Structure 1
């Protein structure tokens, strides 16, 4: 075994790839296999970055947008969605410029969101950013586990109604399905890092388009069956809900829409997969952001507005469950299966930065620990011995195996305790939106570009930040009210649908 836990086994490395091992040992000068920072050449493009973003953004949040628009109405609903899309694009462009410190093509790289904050800001802000980023990632993992279990449960109920008839209540617990999803995530969480999950992101992005398209199609069919468009200009009416509930639900709708656009907390990590200039990573990332936000906004508008048009005030928190569990049951099964596959990938896209942070910290804290630093070569083929050609292998790290598995188990257990899809989604969106999507990108950009205090641009950026802070506080309050309401009737591990 070499330095830093690198195992240079001939079984796993073909002769031409031995340079890669040399790089791990510090011999990087003059090699065409490495970037300017001595790491293996990044191979990401605008399209792979877009796939990562779409996988992260068009997640379970799209399913709650019909409900969100129902709370706000035909005027405010689409307007708020467009507002969030613009804010997300603008602040993402600011954040992309912070990937390198100094020159956008040759400056020092910041590998993570925390690295960028540390390079541009200082003091307690770095710790606050780290806590919010990783706490939000944990929350997203919980939210995605809940959403995936609801979709798996929907498949089971649709099949139950088809076989047993519509008179059977088909009440089923969500707990077994959360366990199934958790087991799958334990397996996929062993993929070492972002560079190796591009295929999973592309698959997940395809799945997101699949279920969004099915939901859109079913919504159009429902509108035709209704004989017209439902809904009103101001949203759900006073009388259907109390005035106070109207306020809380409207605020929660803001949180749901914020969650649906949230991906800034992993933007730097995605940008770190893009190949070296030219063009600069920030320019490629801005183009990927334009493509991704435009595509997601189009889908959000179509799915959210169609859901509201189909169901009006009765728009469900999960669009696909609103069509019932009857016919065409097979089409609903396909859509819900696509959601599950997508969420498997989205879970990994979000959690990889947290996995990498903990593992880097552990290696720095215990650099001589065999358990933490050593990679064990596990051959993936039987062609490793002949002629020095080598074979492919998987590098098994015991610390990675145990820590990531423990993380998945913990988030799964918490999901069993709090299966409130809509309220959890709203709370996560609210809490993470202002600090991670707006405040830190704005503050870092001001430092990076040396924007003078009290200049017109500085004042405009600060006003944007303050407005988004107000939205965050109000949305969090609405979501907490919804969660407290759910807790009044909830029994842990016993919820059925």
Structure 2
């Protein structure tokens, strides 16, 4: 940023080093954008899809998956078109989701967007801390089951693994900005394909077993999923179905970081077209994996599908393959955490710099020389960035330790973010940008889509809150009180 400011003050920008807006040259491509999207989308949500389809059945599960896939891609194209400002500032970049809303809608909607986006990002980073620790615990439990038998309890605490995950994130969080994370997203995307493929392969192997195949003949004809009076009560059926919708919504959540991803493309006037292609690649790829993992997982386990089909021990053997899959999950979530945390870091640091521009603690970059094999390399350290980002990672880890509820937490995050960030704002900005006449056919069907998604989000949130309430019965009062304080503070 110091180099950029100097270039601007001198009245020129070196084209080889800076883009049209005076910022350092961007290096992103459709490949790196697709990797970011896959990293953000194929996350811990894929692990709960077999359970979600078990609640909705063959008639509802795949249909809901495809519906969310279509809606997510469609609204992401609308959001991509909003990247550059309209009106007098036409062509000027928007760097965050809030900037986009400010350019197209303005007013209180900017604050509403910020509340929804950053609360969701905080929730996702907490959820990823929970899921990564569960996967690391699953490695030790898998080895325990292999050694001592499947009936042994093999109880292992999540806390040391949450601390380990947080320690790794503290180091990675010192990466200054989003466009320097491409390598991490590519690694994470490869890991997501790896563990999704392992889960899919194990599910296929289980379905192919003669006994399982015969046992599941009647389950494969169960169009409505879990059976009332056999698997669940009538009320549980309703609440679990709502929660399953929230889990699927969470599995497609990436609108919160779409603008940040689009903002790392090489400078050009057609970033929206590249982003649409990257969204098509990312959403299509993840949908194929989701349908396969969810449907084959349900075929393998039937109505007894676990909430997390790799860490819930739907599979025990081969234990080494289960271990590898869970290591892949943990590695993937290390990268995914950063994809969702970087917008939070950037938002707070931008506000702090604007409010206290002369504060040396906030603004000064200190150069650190790092000896390497072939010479010396330098790294810039900012003390405010070091303290703030470290504090954030520690706080999310502490909250994750207090209420590690996997499925219910994912469903709540999905329900809370899907409507405002994936549907409402992209549609409203498209209507404003395209100047669509009120009560025209296009205006009406866009509004109907928006209202329908609002209803879906509300019922999904209700299901997840009910699930959290049931889980909280087994939680100590101090943890429960902290959870409700955090929830109301967040929403």
How would you bin the TM-score normalised by the shorter chain? over 0.9
Contact kept in structure 1, 2:73 and 2:283, CA below 8 Å = yes
Q: CA deviation at 1:113?
A: 0.4
Q: CA deviation at 1:134?
A: 0.3
Q: CA deviation at 1:246?
A: 0.4
Q: 1:24 to 1:412 in 2, by over 3 A?
A: farther
The equivalent position to 2:159 in structure 1, one of 165, 175, 184, is 175
Q: Does 1:131 align with 2:127?
A: no
**Aligned-partner SS, 1:319:** coil
The equivalent position to 1:36 in structure 2, one of 8, 11, 20, is 20
Which residue of the partner structure matches residue 100 of structure 2? 116
Contact kept in structure 2, 1:256 and 1:426, CA below 8 Å = yes
Q: 1:88 to 1:242 in 2, by over 3 A?
A: same
Which residue of the partner structure matches residue 259 of structure 1? 250
Q: CA deviation at 1:122?
A: 1.4
Which residue of the partner structure matches residue 247 of structure 1? 238
The equivalent position to 1:159 in structure 2, one of 137, 143, 150, is 143
Q: CA deviation at 1:397?
A: 0.7
Q: Does 1:361 align with 2:351?
A: yes
Q: CA deviation at 1:449?
A: 1.3
Which residue of the partner structure matches residue 475 of structure 1? 460
The equivalent position to 2:310 in structure 1, one of 300, 312, 320, is 320
Give the Cα–Cα distance (whole angstroms) in 2 for the partners of residues 324 and 234 of structure 1.
21
Contact kept in structure 2, 1:114 and 1:129, CA below 8 Å = yes
**Aligned-partner SS, 1:478:** helix
Give the Cα–Cα distance (whole angstroms) in 2 for the partners of residues 48 and 444 of structure 1.
26
Give the Cα–Cα distance (whole angstroms) in 1 for the partners of residues 61 and 228 of structure 2.
17
Contact kept in structure 1, 2:169 and 2:393, CA below 8 Å = yes
Q: CA deviation at 1:28?
A: 3.4
RMSD: 2.1
Which residue of the partner structure matches residue 227 of structure 1? 213
Q: Does 1:310 align with 2:295?
A: no
Q: CA deviation at 1:381?
A: 3.2
Contact kept in structure 2, 1:20 and 1:33, CA below 8 Å = no
Q: CA deviation at 1:379?
A: 1.6
Q: Does 1:438 align with 2:423?
A: yes
Which residue of the partner structure matches residue 487 of structure 1? 472
CA displacement, residues 38-59 of structure 1 (integer Å, 9 cap, x when unaligned) = 1122111111100000000000
Output aligned runs, 1:340-379, within 5 Å: 340-379=330-369
Q: Does 1:301 align with 2:272?
A: no
CA displacement, residues 255-274 of structure 1 (integer Å, 9 cap, x when unaligned) = 00000001001100100001
* Range with bigger deviation, 33-42 or 233-242: 33-42
Output aligned runs, 1:20-59, within 5 Å: 22-23=6-7, 27-29=11-13, 31-59=15-43
Q: CA deviation at 1:304?
A: 0.4
CA displacement, residues 265-307 of structure 1 (integer Å, 9 cap, x when unaligned) = 11001000011225x0000000000000000000000000011
Contact kept in structure 2, 1:431 and 1:472, CA below 8 Å = yes
Q: 1:315 to 1:429 in 2, by over 3 A?
A: same
Give the Cα–Cα distance (whole angstroms) in 2 for the partners of residues 333 and 223 of structure 1.
21
Q: CA deviation at 1:22?
A: 4.3
Give the Cα–Cα distance (whole angstroms) in 2 for the partners of residues 124 and 462 of structure 1.
20
When normalised by structure 1's length, the TM-score is 0.91
When normalised by structure 2's length, the TM-score is 0.92
Give the Cα–Cα distance (whole angstroms) in 2 for the partners of residues 26 and 59 of structure 1.
45
Which residue of the partner structure matches residue 203 of structure 1? 187
Give the Cα–Cα distance (whole angstroms) in 2 for the partners of residues 287 and 325 of structure 1.
37
The equivalent position to 1:84 in structure 2, one of 52, 62, 68, is 68
Contact kept in structure 2, 1:416 and 1:493, CA below 8 Å = no
Output aligned runs, 1:281-300, within 5 Å: 281-300=271-290
Give the Cα–Cα distance (whole angstroms) in 1 for the partners of residues 163 and 233 of structure 2.
37
Q: CA deviation at 1:325?
A: 6.2
The equivalent position to 1:72 in structure 2, one of 51, 56, 64, is 56
Q: CA deviation at 1:492?
A: 7.8
Q: 1:43 to 1:216 in 2, by over 3 A?
A: same
Give the Cα–Cα distance (whole angstroms) in 2 for the partners of residues 461 and 167 of structure 1.
53
Contact kept in structure 1, 2:4 and 2:22, CA below 8 Å = no
Which residue of the partner structure matches residue 13 of structure 1? none
Q: 1:384 to 1:241 in 2, by over 3 A?
A: closer
The equivalent position to 1:454 in structure 2, one of 427, 436, 439, is 439
Give the Cα–Cα distance (whole angstroms) in 1 for the partners of residues 93 and 79 of structure 2.
13
Q: CA deviation at 1:24?
A: 6.8
**Aligned-partner SS, 1:100:** coil
Give the Cα–Cα distance (whole angstroms) in 1 for the partners of residues 55 and 412 of structure 2.
16
CA displacement, residues 233-266 of structure 1 (integer Å, 9 cap, x when unaligned) = 1110001211111000000010000000010011
Give the Cα–Cα distance (whole angstroms) in 1 for the partners of residues 139 and 14 of structure 2.
55
Which residue of the partner structure matches residue 323 of structure 2? 333
Which residue of the partner structure matches residue 269 of structure 1? 260
Q: CA deviation at 1:34?
A: 1.8
**Aligned-partner SS, 1:50:** helix
Q: 1:365 to 1:288 in 2, by over 3 A?
A: same
**Aligned-partner SS, 1:41:** coil
Contact kept in structure 1, 2:86 and 2:104, CA below 8 Å = no
Q: CA deviation at 1:169?
A: 1.7
CA displacement, residues 1-26 of structure 1 (integer Å, 9 cap, x when unaligned) = xxx7x3xxxxxxxxxxxx76843755
Contact kept in structure 2, 1:22 and 1:28, CA below 8 Å = no
Q: CA deviation at 1:164?
A: 3.5
Question: Aligned pairs, how many?
Answer: 472
Q: CA deviation at 1:168?
A: 3.1
Q: CA deviation at 1:163?
A: 3.0
The equivalent position to 1:217 in structure 2, one of 175, 192, 201, is 201
